[in-house]
Amino acid sequence: MVNVRPFQAVRPNEKLADKIASLPYDVLSSAEARELGKANPYSFLHIDKAEIDLEESLSPYDDLVYLKAKDNLRAFLEKEWLKKDVRAGFYIYELQMNGRAQTGIVASTAIDDYISQKIKKHEFTREEKELDRIRHVDTCDANTSPIFLTYRGKAEINELIAQFKASHEPIYDFKSFHEVTHKVWHVDESELVTSLETAFASVPALYIADGHHRTESAVKVGLKRREAYPNESNLAEFNFFLSVLFPAEELEILDYNRVLNVPIPTDFLEQLKPHFDITEKGTTPFKPSKPKQMGLYLNGRWYAVDAKKETIKGDVIGSLDVSILQNEILTKIFDIQDVRRDNRIDFVGGIRGLAELEKRVDSGEFTIAFAMFPPTMDDLLSVADANEIMPPKSTWFEPKLLSGLFVHELESKA
């Protein structure tokens, strides 16, 4: 039901994989990427955030940035830091973090499956972020960062992967950011490739876990290529984009927390009481332990904030913790209507911990912080199946898929 194809990856020389692989472009600022790139000439950030090799005063959206990315990709290939596999295949990508492992299949997935909603989304995108990646993919003529997809697991696929891992050595095996172990196997045996293609053909739908902007951008570049090359086969590489597919049962969503820079009403806690039960927790950071519970950090003290039963809406969106925060606090008390564009709010991934929330408030940069209880994978799949959209910044996945381990060329010689 979904089209999951093998492809010829551009990937690192085995001796350089740990040096080339980088954090995704969208979890680092230009300044952070510049520091990492300065210390490591092999870093894929020289391709994915090529502004790090140009003057700091230059906009990261300047034409020169995208041309530099293209030049750097070509240079990595000429120096043989990257190479292109001769035969099309799949790749098995295992990540281990804090004793938990998740194993996915690296493949190319079809833009037509996204258009027909067999690849389902749960977030809206922002046009300026789309345009950035459209220009990047268009200029490089390649998908340089994978889209993180999930699906309801199938025993047949799990068994095929497990058998291959047990009988083959990985081509990459290294530890990187946040002490995550990354292992990759190359699956180019024709019989197994066919078996995996066939097994995925019975999967009814794929779901975007992370990478909505990359997906929209990849699809729009593919459609642009169709117009430019109308005589090409519908199997041409530009009709597909780079993805890693993980069974939902192996994934974990972390909290995606909020910090606000707003004046705090003197009776703020009293304003919360009609909708929430509030328990002071003192100076010890409070991490929510159940759904419909938030941690609140204000004036150096932590509070447990539990939504009352009548506050929780029954629908799939209204009952999400981030929706409760948005509807009952951000909108009603602080008049923050659009969190994607309001500069009074920022978001902190759970990997940074509650200490990061305290740091941002105690510094005076922000006035209040909310520690969230994360949604579940069932929440995400249910929202997508209902063709609904989660509130922005609802999900934070760890571990992150590294960029630079796989590049998918569109092969249209742009």
pLDDT of the residue at 1: 85
Inter-CA distances, 204 with 21, 117, 182, Å? 32, 11, 29
pLDDT of the residue at 414: 44
Burial 355-387 (b: 16+ CB within 10 A, else e): ebbbbbbeeeebbbbbbbbbbebebbbebbeee
**Residue range 332-347: average pLDDT?**
93
Q: What is the 3-state secondary structure (H, E, C) of 108-166?
A: EEEHHHHHCCCEECCCCCCHHHHHHHHHHHHHHCEECCCEEEEECCCHHHHHHHHHHHH
In this model, does residue 18 exceed pLDDT 80? yes
- How far is the C-alpha of 330 from the C-alpha of 362, rounded, in Å? 20
**Residue range 258-287: average pLDDT?**
97
In this model, does residue 351 exceed pLDDT 90? no
CB-CB contact of 6 with 86 (8 Å): no
pLDDT digits (tens, 9 = 90+) for 87-120: 999 999 999 999 999 999 999 999 999 999 999 9
In this model, does residue 412 exceed pLDDT 70? no
Q: Is 147 left (phi over 0), alpha (psi -120 to 50) or beta?
A: beta
SS3 of residue 309 by DSSP: helix
In this model, does residue 86 exceed pLDDT 70? yes
313 band by pLDDT with thresholds 50, 70 and 90: confident
Burial 21-43 (b: 16+ CB within 10 A, else e): bbbbbbebebeebbebbeeeebb
Q: What is the DSSP letter of 79?
A: T
How many residues does this entry show for the chain? 414
- Pairing mode, strands 345-349 and 256-260: antiparallel
**Residue range 360-384: average pLDDT?**
96
Burial zone of 352 (CB within 10 Å; 0-12 exposed, 13-18 middle, 19+ buried): middle
In this model, does residue 197 exceed pLDDT 90? yes
Direct distance between the N- and C-terminal alpha carbons of the chain, in angstroms, rounded to an integer: 31
In this model, does residue 314 exceed pLDDT 80? no
More confident residue, 340 or 347: 347
Annotated domain spans of the chain: 4-251+398-409, 256-373
Counts of helices then strands in the chain (DSSP H, E): 13, 21
pLDDT of the residue at 244: 98
Q: Which helix (H) or strand (E) holds 245?
A: strand 240-247
**Residue range 75-89: average pLDDT?**
97
Closest CA to 6 of 102, 109, 83, 104: 109
- Pairing mode, strands 172-176 and 180-187: antiparallel
In this model, does residue 413 exceed pLDDT 60? no
pLDDT of the residue at 27: 87
pLDDT digits (tens, 9 = 90+) for 145-169: 999 999 999 999 999 999 999 999 9
Closest CA to 205 of 103, 93, 109, 94: 109
**Residue range 283-292: average pLDDT?**
96
Average pLDDT, the chain: 95
**DSSP string for residues in 249-266:** GG--EEPEEEEE-SPPPT
Tell me which residue has tokens 């340089």: 144
Spatial CB neighbours of 15, under 8 Å, sequence gap ≥ 6? none
**Residue range 285-297: average pLDDT?**
97
**DSSP string for residues in 316-349:** TTTTSHHHHHIIIIIITTT----TTT-TTEEEEE
In this model, does residue 358 exceed pLDDT 50? yes
pLDDT of the residue at 182: 98
Q: For the full predicted model, state whether its pTM sits above 0.85.
A: yes
Cis-peptide, bond into residue 399, ω within 30° of zero? yes
**Residue range 191-200: average pLDDT?**
97
State both tokens at 313. Answer: 């809406």
**Residue range 49-70: average pLDDT?**
96
